[in-house]
Amino acid sequence: MTTVSSLDSGAVAPVSARESLFARLKKNRLSLFGGVLVLLAVFMAISAPFLPLQDPDAVDASSRLAPIGAPGHLLGTDELGRDILSRMFWGGRITLLVSIAATLIAMIAGTFLGLVSGYFLGWTDTVISRGIDVLMAFPYFLLALTVIAILGPGLLNGMLAIALVNVPFFARIIRGSTLSLREADYVLAAKGMGAGHSRILFRHILLNSLPTLVVATTINLGFMITAAAALSFLGLGVQPPTSDWGTMLASGRQYLSSAPHTSYLPGLAIFLTVLGFNLLGDGLRDALDPRMRD
Amino acid sequence: MSQPSQAPAPLLQVSDLKRYFDVKNSLLSGKSGHLRAVDGVTFNVTAGETLGLVGESGCGKSTLGRVVSRLLPATDGEILFEGRDIIDIDRKALLALRADIQSVFQDPSASLNPRMTAFNLIAEPLVIQKIGTRASRRDKVLDLLETVGLRREFADRYPHEFSGGQRQRIGIARALALDPKLLILDEPVSALDVSIQAQIINLLEDLQKRLDLTYLFISHDLSVVQHVADRVAVMYMGQIVELADNEAFYANPQHPYSIALLSALPLPDPTIARKRILLEGDLPDPANLPQGCRFQSRCAHVTDRCRVGPEPEMQEISPGHIARCHNLADIHAPIEQKQTA
């Protein structure tokens, strides 16, 4: 016989999963809209230092609570006469930074725990899974408040608190995907070549969990923005004079009747950004990993 | 395939190998037992030969393959590879053994990591075993692609860009990367179209000649095994019930189970009619085997002796042809009858 057989070696299926991901995402109008909202928020966060914005912390007692469209202040001013437009950009920078950093921390910690517990099973899994159960038994916000009560309020501690609260989210998703992937034939094949645990965990199981992880991360970013804003709203996150959308919302709340724009502008920003991440996450989930639909 | 001219020492010696799985019978009673997937299996594989291992699904043939390739631990018994025990070995020796015994799996789309290119898939065993430099690995992988009949340009493609047959070729190339001595072929063609099956079988036969490979060929397809195997072992419920040379087995099967299996094999000559033996009766519960012979519930030749213990022992019918049955002398095998009408 000949080793090269024409029948089998000629035709190659012309499918490319990468092309079709964007195509599938594009078909979903809602998630495209979500993507635009997310891009807008990211643009605000990145561009703040480069745009000709006023100093977000410059107090001007002569023009307190100026309405939208007031001369010199496109979106008006807050109770101390600070320019709201500028504060929206700079505040969004803090809110996004805290949420993204917290999501990354939660993702890395949760993924690691999920991989280890789903792969090794036995007592490792028991210890990790029960620990995750304990974290989940606390009401979401109470846990974050407890962490802040221990560490003290502040930008970094707030970030750690909401990261910790979200570790179970990632740990459980990745544990589930690890449980199914560890039985895959290619994992068995890797063992048969002599692959060690870390190679199997990271090159085989984690690599094949990536779609799940991307979707989970996007959806989680939405939660994180709400959580970060809520902590700041309570004065437990970022401390004055720095402010984010949450603190702006909190200070504007006292002037809800006289100057509603001081609170509904940051509120709208939070709402639209979270909506954007959720719509984008849903679209990514449908395109990448339909199994996660619940 | 090549016949051993002299009598070399067996490459693989398996004796009384057992692999039990724990099963919980009932949630309420809390009783538990063992599922005897492999229950006292003994056979040798000589260097250069192909041993075909056949049996219906659930008979333990894949489990046997995995225990032999050290992918599953053995419960009891002995496996010698090149005369050395491979069950109680340290990590370093196991890693070296992995290079000598490689597996090809049934479903190539499941056994190839979908996120790795053909190149990385085939290079992975070399990377794991720390063999060669980056450049020498590259040469080796590209050579392997050609060895299995794929073009070098395919190296950067992902598994989903290949057809089923091409994927199995990648699986074979990966198994060959470490220059193994023994290949465990676990239903290597069962997931493929019939037309592709022939190509893969030809490739495997060609490779065996060129690279002096020894095959343990696991399959449920008796015609495929007839084509590739030098010797055939039939498994039923975790035990080998018949072991014989290819010609002897297909011409003169001895065990009633083998006879029934072969009677279901389509014959290439439509003028030949043959009596098909339909197996009736249920498979015994593998976690709760009956006393006596395991085949008693489905056997046409069952006698009282089969229903009361002890289990039948292996008997030699002719040199190299053994079967596990009490009534071998009474069973006549009417395999082929020329149509007279």
Predicted local distance difference test score (pLDDT) of residue B322: 93
Q: What is the pLDDT of residues B154-182, one digit of tens each?
A: 999 999 889 999 999 999 999 999 999 99
Q: Nearest residue of B to residue A186 by CA position?
A: B111
- Tell me which DSSP letter residue A292 carries: G
Predicted local distance difference test score (pLDDT) of residue A6: 40
Smallest CA-to-CA distance from B126 within B140, B114, B116 is with B140
Residue B158 in any domain: the answer is: yes
Indicate which of A3, A181, A183, A197 best probes the interface with B, i.e. most B CBs within 10 Å of its own CB. A3
Smallest CA-to-CA distance from B59 within B42, B39, B30, B77 is with B39
Q: B11 in helix, strand or coil?
A: strand
Residue B21 in any domain: the answer is: yes
Q: Would you say A115 and A187 are in contact if contact means Cβ atoms under 8 Å apart?
A: no
Q: B5 in helix, strand or coil?
A: coil
Chain A residues with beta carbon closer than 8 angstroms to that of B144: none
User: In whole angstroms, what is the distance from residue B51 CA to residue B44 CA?
Assistant: 9
Q: What is the 3-state secondary structure (H, E, C) of B140-201?
A: HHHHHHHHCCCCHHHHHCCHHHCCHHHHHHHHHHHHHCCCCCEEEEECCCCCCCHHHHHHHH
Number of domains in chain B: 1
Q: Nearest residue of B to residue A7 by CA position?
A: B196
Residue B197, token pair as written in the block: 């099956």
Closest partner residue to A3 (CB to CB) among B112, B147, B166 is: B147
Chain A residues with beta carbon closer than 8 angstroms to that of B191: none
Residue B313 in any domain: the answer is: yes
Predicted local distance difference test score (pLDDT) of residue B8: 63
Residue range A82-95: mean pLDDT, rounded = 90
**Contacts for B61-64: CB closer than 8 Å, 24+ residues apart:** B61/B218, B61/B220, B61/B235, B62/B186, B62/B187, B62/B218, B63/B19, B63/B37, B63/B38, B64/B17, B64/B19, B64/B37, B64/B38, B64/B218, B64/B235
Q: Do A189 and B203 touch (CB under 8 A)?
A: no
User: In whole angstroms, what is the distance from residue B222 CA to residue B263 CA?
Assistant: 11
Residue B249 in any domain: the answer is: yes
Predicted local distance difference test score (pLDDT) of residue A292: 57
Could you give phi then psi for residue B324, rounded to 5 degrees? -110, 90
Cβ neighbourhood burial of A133 (10 Å; 0-12, 13-18, 19+):
exposed
Residue A4 has pLDDT above 70, yes or no: no
* DSSP per position, B62-88: HHHHHHHTTSS--SEEEEEETTEE-SS
Confidence at A272, pLDDT banded by 50, 70, 90: very high
Predicted local distance difference test score (pLDDT) of residue B186: 94
Looking from the CA of B121 toward its CB, the CA atoms found within 13 Å total 32
Q: Do B149 and A207 touch (CB under 8 A)?
A: no
User: In whole angstroms, what is the distance from residue A54 CA to residue A66 CA?
Assistant: 15
Residue range A13-42: mean pLDDT, rounded = 76
Closest partner residue to B98 (CB to CB) among A186, A194, A208 is: A194
Smallest CA-to-CA distance from B333 within B300, B304, B298 is with B300
Confidence at A137, pLDDT banded by 50, 70, 90: very high
Q: A with B: how many residue pairs have Cβ under 8 Å apart?
A: 108
Q: Which one of 2.30.110.10, 1.10.3720.10, 3.40.50.11890, 2.60.120.200 gives the CATH number of domain A101-294?
A: 1.10.3720.10
Q: Do A12 and B157 touch (CB under 8 A)?
A: yes
pTM equals: 0.82
Q: Do B196 and A8 touch (CB under 8 A)?
A: yes
Closest partner residue to A199 (CB to CB) among B66, B128, B150 is: B128
Q: What is the distance in angstroms between the Cα of B158 and the nearest Cα belonging to chain A?
A: 9
> Largest Cα–Cα distance in chain B?
70
% of chain A at pLDDT higher than 90: 51
Predicted local distance difference test score (pLDDT) of residue A13: 43
Please report how the helices A84-120 and A261-288 are oriented relative to each other, as an axis angle in degrees rounded to 10. Answer: 30
Residue B254 in any domain: the answer is: yes
Cis before B180? omega within 30 = no
Q: Nearest residue of B to residue A11 by CA position?
A: B163
Cis before B310? omega within 30 = yes
Q: What is the distance in angstroms between the Cα of B131 and the nearest Cα belonging to chain A?
A: 12
> Is the four-CA dihedral A80, A81, A86, A92 of positive or negative sign?
positive
Q: How far is CA B72 from the centre of its chain?
A: 15
- ipTM associated with this complex: 0.84
User: In whole angstroms, what is the distance from residue B172 CA to residue B177 CA?
Assistant: 9
Interface of A with B (CB under 8 A): 1-5, 7-9, 11-17, 184-186, 188-196, 199, 203-204, 207-208, 210
Q: Nearest residue of B to residue A5 by CA position?
A: B149
Q: Would you say B36 and B217 are in contact if contact means Cβ atoms under 8 Å apart?
A: no
Confidence at A293, pLDDT banded by 50, 70, 90: low
Chain A residues with beta carbon closer than 8 angstroms to that of B110: 184-186
Residue A2 has pLDDT above 60, yes or no: no
Closest partner residue to B114 (CB to CB) among A3, A192, A208 is: A208
Q: Do A189 and B147 touch (CB under 8 A)?
A: no
Predicted local distance difference test score (pLDDT) of residue B30: 57
Residue B22: give its domain's CATH number.
Answer: 3.40.50.300
User: In whole angstroms, what is the distance from residue B78 CA to residue B88 CA?
Assistant: 9
Per-residue pLDDT of chain B (341 residues; tens, 9 = 90+): 445 455 567 899 999 999 998 876 656 555 567 888 999 999 999 999 999 999 988 888 999 999 999 999 999 999 999 989 999 899 999 999 999 999 999 999 899 999 899 999 999 999 999 998 999 999 999 999 999 999 999 999 999 889 999 999 999 999 999 999 999 999 999 989 888 999 999 999 999 999 999 999 999 999 999 999 999 999 999 999 999 999 999 998 999 999 989 988 877 777 777 777 777 777 887 777 888 888 988 888 888 888 887 888 888 888 889 999 888 877 754 544 444 43
- Angle (CA) B86-B112-B124 rounded to 5° is 60
Q: Do B110 and A203 touch (CB under 8 A)?
A: no
Residue B262 in any domain: the answer is: yes
Residue range A134-153: mean pLDDT, rounded = 90
Predicted local distance difference test score (pLDDT) of residue A290: 60
Q: Enumerate the H helices of chain A as residue ranges.
A: 6-9, 17-27, 29-47, 84-120, 122-137, 140-151, 155-181, 185-193, 197-199, 207-233, 245-252, 261-288
Chain B residues with beta carbon closer than 8 angstroms to that of A13: 160-163
Residue A203, token pair as written in the block: 């090159």
Residue B172, token pair as written in the block: 């074979």
User: In whole angstroms, what is the distance from residue B296 CA to residue B183 CA?
Assistant: 34
Residue B51 in any domain: the answer is: yes
Chain B residues with beta carbon closer than 8 angstroms to that of A185: 105-107, 110-111
